[in-house]
Protein backbone atom coordinates (compact mmCIF):
# COMPACT_ATOMS: atom_id res chain seq x y z
CA UNK A 1 0.00 0.00 0.00
CA UNK A 2 1.24 3.43 -0.92
CA UNK A 3 1.93 5.69 2.00
CA UNK A 4 -0.47 8.58 1.80
CA UNK A 5 0.12 12.04 3.17
CA UNK A 6 -3.48 13.10 2.81
CA UNK A 7 -5.21 15.27 5.33
CA UNK A 8 -7.30 14.04 8.22
CA UNK A 9 -9.99 16.62 8.79
CA UNK A 10 -12.59 17.06 11.51
CA UNK A 11 -15.63 19.14 10.52
CA UNK A 12 -17.90 20.44 13.25
CA UNK A 13 -21.63 20.91 12.77
CA UNK A 14 -21.95 18.17 10.17
CA UNK A 15 -25.71 18.22 10.62
CA UNK A 16 -25.89 21.93 9.78
CA UNK A 17 -25.90 23.54 6.38
CA UNK A 18 -22.23 24.45 6.36
CA UNK A 19 -20.77 21.38 8.00
CA UNK A 20 -22.47 19.08 5.53
CA UNK A 21 -21.42 21.04 2.49
CA UNK A 22 -17.84 21.51 3.60
CA UNK A 23 -17.58 17.78 4.32
CA UNK A 24 -18.99 17.08 0.85
CA UNK A 25 -16.38 19.32 -0.75
CA UNK A 26 -13.53 17.87 1.28
CA UNK A 27 -14.40 14.20 0.84
CA UNK A 28 -14.42 14.70 -2.92
CA UNK A 29 -10.72 15.54 -2.85
CA UNK A 30 -8.22 12.76 -3.33
CA UNK A 31 -5.67 14.54 -1.13
CA UNK A 32 -7.94 14.26 1.86
CA UNK A 33 -7.63 10.91 3.61
CA UNK A 34 -10.24 11.16 6.28
CA UNK A 35 -13.19 13.43 6.88
CA UNK A 36 -14.76 13.18 10.29
CA UNK A 37 -18.03 14.90 11.00
CA UNK A 38 -19.29 15.99 14.35
CA UNK A 39 -22.86 16.95 14.98
CA UNK A 40 -25.84 16.63 17.25
CA UNK A 41 -28.46 15.76 14.64
CA UNK A 42 -28.52 13.76 11.44
CA UNK A 43 -26.53 14.96 8.43
CA UNK A 44 -28.68 16.94 6.05
CA UNK A 45 -26.77 16.08 2.88
CA UNK A 46 -25.71 12.82 1.32
CA UNK A 47 -22.11 12.03 2.20
CA UNK A 48 -19.94 9.51 0.51
CA UNK A 49 -17.09 8.66 2.83
CA UNK A 50 -17.33 11.15 5.67
CA UNK A 51 -17.45 9.41 9.01
CA UNK A 52 -20.06 10.74 11.31
CA UNK A 53 -19.96 11.02 15.08
CA UNK A 54 -23.11 12.09 16.79
CA UNK A 55 -21.94 14.00 19.80
CA UNK A 56 -22.14 17.35 21.44
CA UNK A 57 -18.99 19.39 21.80
CA UNK A 58 -17.89 18.37 25.25
CA UNK A 59 -14.19 18.54 25.82
CA UNK A 60 -13.47 14.95 26.86
CA UNK A 61 -15.15 13.45 23.80
CA UNK A 62 -13.50 15.92 21.46
CA UNK A 63 -9.99 15.31 22.71
CA UNK A 64 -10.49 11.55 22.49
CA UNK A 65 -11.75 11.82 18.90
CA UNK A 66 -8.89 14.10 17.90
CA UNK A 67 -6.27 11.73 19.27
CA UNK A 68 -7.87 8.49 18.19
CA UNK A 69 -8.44 9.63 14.62
CA UNK A 70 -5.15 11.56 14.42
CA UNK A 71 -7.02 14.61 13.19
CA UNK A 72 -4.59 17.15 11.73
CA UNK A 73 -7.13 19.81 10.75
CA UNK A 74 -10.26 21.11 12.42
CA UNK A 75 -12.81 23.03 10.37
CA UNK A 76 -15.09 24.73 12.85
CA UNK A 77 -18.19 25.65 10.88
CA UNK A 78 -20.54 25.29 13.80
CA UNK A 79 -20.88 28.87 14.93
CA UNK A 80 -24.40 30.19 15.18
CA UNK A 81 -24.82 33.48 13.30
CA UNK A 82 -28.62 33.52 13.29
CA UNK A 83 -29.87 34.67 16.66
CA UNK A 84 -33.50 34.01 15.78
CA UNK A 85 -32.88 30.28 15.82
CA UNK A 86 -32.28 29.90 19.56
CA UNK A 87 -32.26 31.66 22.88
CA UNK A 88 -29.29 33.59 24.19
CA UNK A 89 -28.16 30.95 26.66
CA UNK A 90 -28.00 28.16 24.08
CA UNK A 91 -26.28 30.51 21.68
CA UNK A 92 -23.57 31.30 24.21
CA UNK A 93 -23.23 27.63 25.09
CA UNK A 94 -22.80 26.56 21.47
CA UNK A 95 -20.63 29.40 20.23
CA UNK A 96 -18.37 30.27 23.12
CA UNK A 97 -18.27 27.12 25.22
CA UNK A 98 -18.30 24.86 22.17
CA UNK A 99 -15.34 26.69 20.66
CA UNK A 100 -13.54 26.75 23.97
CA UNK A 101 -13.82 22.97 24.26
CA UNK A 102 -12.82 22.47 20.67
CA UNK A 103 -9.72 24.63 20.99
CA UNK A 104 -8.81 23.00 24.27
CA UNK A 105 -9.01 19.61 22.60
CA UNK A 106 -6.97 20.86 19.65
CA UNK A 107 -4.33 22.44 21.85
CA UNK A 108 -3.65 19.63 24.29
CA UNK A 109 -0.09 18.34 24.69
CA UNK A 110 1.11 16.01 21.91
CA UNK A 111 -1.86 17.03 19.78
CA UNK A 112 -1.86 15.92 16.14
CA UNK A 113 -3.74 19.10 15.11
CA UNK A 114 -1.77 21.34 12.73
CA UNK A 115 -4.50 23.66 11.49
CA UNK A 116 -7.68 25.18 12.89
CA UNK A 117 -10.16 27.03 10.69
CA UNK A 118 -13.02 28.98 12.22
CA UNK A 119 -15.97 30.30 10.26
CA UNK A 120 -16.94 33.63 11.82
CA UNK A 121 -18.93 36.54 10.51
CA UNK A 122 -18.40 40.18 9.58
CA UNK A 123 -20.91 40.86 12.35
CA UNK A 124 -17.89 41.15 14.64
CA UNK A 125 -17.37 44.65 13.20
CA UNK A 126 -20.72 45.70 14.56
CA UNK A 127 -22.70 48.33 12.78
CA UNK A 128 -22.99 52.07 13.30
CA UNK A 129 -23.11 55.34 11.43
CA UNK A 130 -19.44 55.89 12.27
CA UNK A 131 -18.30 52.83 10.36
CA UNK A 132 -15.87 53.15 7.50
CA UNK A 133 -17.30 52.17 4.14
CA UNK A 134 -15.01 49.14 4.07
CA UNK A 135 -13.75 47.29 7.12
CA UNK A 136 -10.32 45.75 6.81
CA UNK A 137 -9.35 42.79 8.95
CA UNK A 138 -7.39 44.89 11.45
CA UNK A 139 -10.15 47.36 12.13
CA UNK A 140 -12.34 47.26 15.14
CA UNK A 141 -15.89 48.42 14.71
CA UNK A 142 -16.52 51.77 16.40
CA UNK A 143 -19.96 50.62 17.43
CA UNK A 144 -20.30 50.46 21.18
CA UNK A 145 -23.61 48.69 21.43
CA UNK A 146 -23.19 45.07 20.61
CA UNK A 147 -25.86 42.43 20.42
CA UNK A 148 -25.52 39.14 22.27
CA UNK A 149 -24.67 37.33 19.07
CA UNK A 150 -21.95 39.83 18.17
CA UNK A 151 -20.49 39.58 21.64
CA UNK A 152 -20.43 35.81 21.46
CA UNK A 153 -18.61 35.94 18.13
CA UNK A 154 -16.12 38.42 19.57
CA UNK A 155 -15.57 36.04 22.47
CA UNK A 156 -14.95 33.20 20.05
CA UNK A 157 -12.41 35.29 18.14
CA UNK A 158 -10.66 36.20 21.39
CA UNK A 159 -10.43 32.50 22.27
CA UNK A 160 -8.97 31.81 18.87
CA UNK A 161 -6.40 34.60 19.27
CA UNK A 162 -5.30 33.10 22.57
CA UNK A 163 -5.11 29.69 20.97
CA UNK A 164 -2.94 31.07 18.16
CA UNK A 165 -0.62 32.67 20.71
CA UNK A 166 -0.33 29.47 22.73
CA UNK A 167 0.17 27.22 19.71
CA UNK A 168 2.50 29.07 17.35
CA UNK A 169 3.13 25.95 15.27
CA UNK A 170 -0.56 25.53 14.45
CA UNK A 171 -1.96 27.28 11.40
CA UNK A 172 -4.92 29.32 12.61
CA UNK A 173 -7.35 30.69 10.03
CA UNK A 174 -10.26 32.93 10.82
CA UNK A 175 -12.76 33.63 8.08
CA UNK A 176 -15.28 36.42 8.46
CA UNK A 177 -18.15 35.96 6.06
CA UNK A 178 -20.48 38.72 4.97
CA UNK A 179 -24.22 38.13 4.65
CA UNK A 180 -24.59 34.78 2.94
CA UNK A 181 -27.18 34.35 0.25
CA UNK A 182 -27.84 31.68 -2.32
CA UNK A 183 -30.24 29.05 -3.52
CA UNK A 184 -30.50 26.96 -0.38
CA UNK A 185 -29.22 28.77 2.68
CA UNK A 186 -31.78 30.02 5.17
CA UNK A 187 -30.83 33.15 7.12
CA UNK A 188 -32.96 35.97 8.50
CA UNK A 189 -32.18 37.92 5.33
CA UNK A 190 -33.14 35.16 2.91
CA UNK A 191 -36.28 34.36 4.88
CA UNK A 192 -37.29 38.01 4.74
CA UNK A 193 -36.58 38.23 1.04
CA UNK A 194 -38.69 35.14 0.37
CA UNK A 195 -41.77 36.86 1.76
CA UNK A 196 -43.95 39.36 -0.03
CA UNK A 197 -43.02 42.17 2.37
CA UNK A 198 -39.42 42.78 3.38
CA UNK A 199 -38.65 44.94 6.41
CA UNK A 200 -36.72 48.13 5.85
CA UNK A 201 -36.45 51.36 7.76
CA UNK A 202 -38.16 54.44 6.37
CA UNK A 203 -35.66 56.94 5.04
CA UNK A 204 -32.74 54.53 5.01
CA UNK A 205 -31.41 52.60 2.06
CA UNK A 206 -28.17 51.03 3.26
CA UNK A 207 -25.59 49.27 1.14
CA UNK A 208 -25.39 45.51 1.60
CA UNK A 209 -22.62 43.16 0.66
CA UNK A 210 -23.26 39.48 0.06
CA UNK A 211 -21.34 36.31 -0.40
CA UNK A 212 -22.76 33.34 -2.27
CA UNK A 213 -23.19 30.09 -0.33
CA UNK A 214 -21.04 28.14 -2.78
CA UNK A 215 -18.25 30.71 -2.39
CA UNK A 216 -18.39 30.16 1.37
CA UNK A 217 -17.79 26.45 0.92
CA UNK A 218 -15.14 27.06 -1.72
CA UNK A 219 -13.36 29.48 0.53
CA UNK A 220 -13.37 27.12 3.50
CA UNK A 221 -11.98 24.42 1.23
CA UNK A 222 -9.40 26.85 -0.17
CA UNK A 223 -7.92 27.90 3.16
CA UNK A 224 -8.00 24.32 4.42
CA UNK A 225 -6.08 22.92 1.50
CA UNK A 226 -3.75 25.93 1.13
CA UNK A 227 -3.13 26.01 4.87
CA UNK A 228 -3.34 29.78 4.97
CA UNK A 229 -3.03 31.36 8.39
CA UNK A 230 -4.61 34.68 9.28
CA UNK A 231 -7.86 36.57 9.31
CA UNK A 232 -9.78 37.07 6.07
CA UNK A 233 -12.95 38.88 5.13
CA UNK A 234 -15.01 36.89 2.67
CA UNK A 235 -17.55 38.79 0.60
CA UNK A 236 -18.47 39.22 -3.01
CA UNK A 237 -17.34 42.35 -4.81
CA UNK A 238 -19.55 45.40 -4.79
CA UNK A 239 -22.27 46.65 -2.53
CA UNK A 240 -25.83 47.41 -3.40
CA UNK A 241 -28.73 49.31 -1.81
CA UNK A 242 -31.25 47.28 0.11
CA UNK A 243 -34.05 48.66 -2.08
CA UNK A 244 -32.26 47.25 -5.12
CA UNK A 245 -31.87 43.86 -3.45
CA UNK A 246 -35.59 43.82 -2.74
CA UNK A 247 -36.40 44.90 -6.29
CA UNK A 248 -34.12 42.23 -7.78
CA UNK A 249 -35.86 39.54 -5.78
CA UNK A 250 -39.20 40.95 -6.88
CA UNK A 251 -40.83 41.73 -3.55
CA UNK A 252 -41.92 44.90 -1.80
CA UNK A 253 -40.48 46.84 1.08
CA UNK A 254 -42.33 47.13 4.34
CA UNK A 255 -41.30 50.48 5.78
CA UNK A 256 -40.74 50.53 9.52
CA UNK A 257 -40.59 53.92 11.28
CA UNK A 258 -37.07 55.26 11.90
CA UNK A 259 -37.95 55.94 15.53
CA UNK A 260 -39.22 53.19 17.80
CA UNK A 261 -38.37 50.72 15.07
CA UNK A 262 -38.18 47.79 17.45
CA UNK A 263 -41.53 48.62 19.00
CA UNK A 264 -43.23 48.79 15.62
CA UNK A 265 -41.56 45.60 14.46
CA UNK A 266 -42.31 43.49 17.51
CA UNK A 267 -45.91 42.56 16.67
CA UNK A 268 -44.85 41.72 13.13
CA UNK A 269 -42.01 39.53 14.41
CA UNK A 270 -44.38 37.82 16.84
CA UNK A 271 -46.86 37.21 14.05
CA UNK A 272 -44.10 35.64 12.01
CA UNK A 273 -44.44 38.18 9.22
CA UNK A 274 -40.84 39.34 9.35
CA UNK A 275 -37.52 38.26 10.81
CA UNK A 276 -35.67 41.05 12.52
CA UNK A 277 -32.85 39.93 14.80
CA UNK A 278 -31.13 42.85 16.57
CA UNK A 279 -28.08 42.39 14.31
CA UNK A 280 -30.19 43.15 11.28
CA UNK A 281 -31.97 46.15 12.69
CA UNK A 282 -28.89 48.34 12.51
CA UNK A 283 -27.85 46.81 9.21
CA UNK A 284 -31.09 48.11 7.73
CA UNK A 285 -29.93 51.63 8.59
CA UNK A 286 -26.23 51.71 7.89
CA UNK A 287 -25.33 48.48 6.13
CA UNK A 288 -21.80 47.13 6.22
CA UNK A 289 -18.97 46.74 3.77
CA UNK A 290 -15.74 44.83 4.04
CA UNK A 291 -12.48 44.91 2.17
CA UNK A 292 -11.63 41.56 0.59
CA UNK A 293 -8.29 42.42 -0.98
CA UNK A 294 -6.35 40.26 1.47
CA UNK A 295 -8.23 37.12 0.48
CA UNK A 296 -7.96 38.01 -3.18
CA UNK A 297 -4.22 38.51 -2.97
CA UNK A 298 -4.01 35.12 -1.25
CA UNK A 299 -5.31 33.73 -4.52
CA UNK A 300 -8.97 33.10 -3.85
CA UNK A 301 -11.45 34.19 -6.47
CA UNK A 302 -15.12 34.58 -5.73
CA UNK A 303 -17.42 33.09 -8.34
CA UNK A 304 -20.13 35.55 -7.44
CA UNK A 305 -20.20 39.29 -6.92
CA UNK A 306 -22.66 40.68 -4.38
CA UNK A 307 -25.14 41.37 -7.15
CA UNK A 308 -24.48 37.97 -8.71
CA UNK A 309 -25.21 36.25 -5.41
CA UNK A 310 -28.48 38.14 -5.04
CA UNK A 311 -29.35 37.29 -8.63
CA UNK A 312 -28.74 33.61 -7.92
CA UNK A 313 -31.07 33.84 -4.95
CA UNK A 314 -33.67 35.70 -7.01
CA UNK A 315 -33.61 33.01 -9.69
CA UNK A 316 -34.07 30.29 -7.09
CA UNK A 317 -36.91 32.25 -5.52
CA UNK A 318 -38.68 32.60 -8.87
CA UNK A 319 -38.39 28.86 -9.41
CA UNK A 320 -39.76 28.19 -5.94
CA UNK A 321 -42.68 30.51 -6.57
CA UNK A 322 -43.45 28.67 -9.78
CA UNK A 323 -43.17 25.05 -8.65
CA UNK A 324 -43.10 25.12 -4.88
CA UNK A 325 -40.16 23.89 -2.88
CA UNK A 326 -37.33 22.45 -4.92
CA UNK A 327 -35.09 21.32 -2.12
CA UNK A 328 -33.75 17.85 -2.80
CA UNK A 329 -34.91 15.84 0.15
CA UNK A 330 -32.33 13.73 1.85
CA UNK A 331 -32.94 11.90 5.07
CA UNK A 332 -30.10 10.33 6.91
CA UNK A 333 -30.70 6.70 7.71
CA UNK A 334 -27.94 5.18 9.72
CA UNK A 335 -28.56 1.60 8.59
CA UNK A 336 -28.58 2.50 4.92
CA UNK A 337 -25.40 4.55 5.29
CA UNK A 338 -23.75 1.69 7.15
CA UNK A 339 -24.77 -0.69 4.40
CA UNK A 340 -23.27 1.45 1.65
CA UNK A 341 -20.01 1.90 3.49
CA UNK A 342 -19.42 -1.47 5.01
CA UNK A 343 -21.28 -4.03 2.91
CA UNK A 344 -18.77 -6.42 1.26
CA UNK A 345 -20.96 -6.44 -1.86
CA UNK A 346 -20.82 -2.68 -2.32
CA UNK A 347 -17.11 -2.65 -1.53
CA UNK A 348 -16.42 -5.37 -4.08
CA UNK A 349 -18.41 -3.54 -6.75
CA UNK A 350 -16.59 -0.33 -5.99
CA UNK A 351 -13.24 -2.05 -6.39
CA UNK A 352 -14.13 -3.62 -9.70
CA UNK A 353 -15.50 -0.29 -10.89
CA UNK A 354 -12.25 1.46 -10.13
CA UNK A 355 -10.01 -1.09 -11.88
| Chain residues in the site for another protein (CB under 8 A) | 128-134, 136, 139, 201-205, 207, 238-241, 243-244, 247-248, 258, 285-286, 289, 307-308, 310-311, 314
Nearer to another protein, 75 or 240 (CB): 240
Task: For the CB of residue 128, give the shortest distance to another protein in the complex, in Å.
Answer: 8
Task: For the CB of residue 291, give the shortest distance to another protein in the complex, in Å.
Answer: 8
Q: Distances in Å between the alpha carbon of 47 and those of 263, 333, 334, 348?
A: 45, 12, 12, 19
Task: For the CB of residue 287, give the shortest distance to another protein in the complex, in Å.
Answer: 9
β-bridge pairing 73-76 and 51-54: unpaired
Q: At what angle do helices 344-354 and 334-342 cross, to 10 degrees?
A: 50
211 contacts 179 by C-beta, under 8 angstroms? yes
Task: For the CB of residue 325, give the shortest distance to another protein in the complex, in Å.
Answer: 24
107 contacts 90 by C-beta, under 8 angstroms? no
Task: For the CB of residue 133, give the shortest distance to another protein in the complex, in Å.
Answer: 5
Nearer to another protein, 297 or 331 (CB): 297
Backbone angles phi and psi of 205, in degrees to 5:
-140, 75
Cβ neighbors of 306 (< 8 A, separation 6 or more) are: 208, 209, 210, 211, 235, 236, 237, 238, 239, 240
Task: For the CB of residue 201, give the shortest distance to another protein in the complex, in Å.
Answer: 8
247 sits in which H/E element? helix 242-249
What's the chain's length in residues?
Answer: 355
Task: For the CB of residue 279, give the shortest distance to another protein in the complex, in Å.
Answer: 18
Nearer to another protein, 134 or 340 (CB): 134
Nearer to another protein, 35 or 290 (CB): 290
Nearer to another protein, 115 or 317 (CB): 317
CA distance 253 to 197: 5
Nearer to another protein, 102 or 245 (CB): 245
Nearer to another protein, 124 or 310 (CB): 310
Task: For the CB of residue 104, give the shortest distance to another protein in the complex, in Å.
Answer: 36
Q: At what angle do helices 278-286 and 148-166 cross, to 10 degrees?
A: 100
| Burial bucket for residue 263 (CB in 10 Å: 0-12, 13-18, 19+) | exposed
Cβ neighbors of 254 (< 8 A, separation 6 or more) are: 197, 198, 199, 200, 268, 274
Nearer to another protein, 259 or 323 (CB): 259
CA distance 321 to 316: 9
Amino acid sequence: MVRTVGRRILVTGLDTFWGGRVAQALEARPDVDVVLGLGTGSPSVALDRTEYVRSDQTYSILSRIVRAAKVDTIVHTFLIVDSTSMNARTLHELNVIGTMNLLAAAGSADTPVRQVIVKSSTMVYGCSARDPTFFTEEMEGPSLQRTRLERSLLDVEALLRDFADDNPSTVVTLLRFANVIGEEISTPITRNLSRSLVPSVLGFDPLFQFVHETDVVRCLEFVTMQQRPGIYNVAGRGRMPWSEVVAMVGTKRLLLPPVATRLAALPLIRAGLIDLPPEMECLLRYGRGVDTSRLESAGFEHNFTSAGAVDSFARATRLKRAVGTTKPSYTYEADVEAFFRHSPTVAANDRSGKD
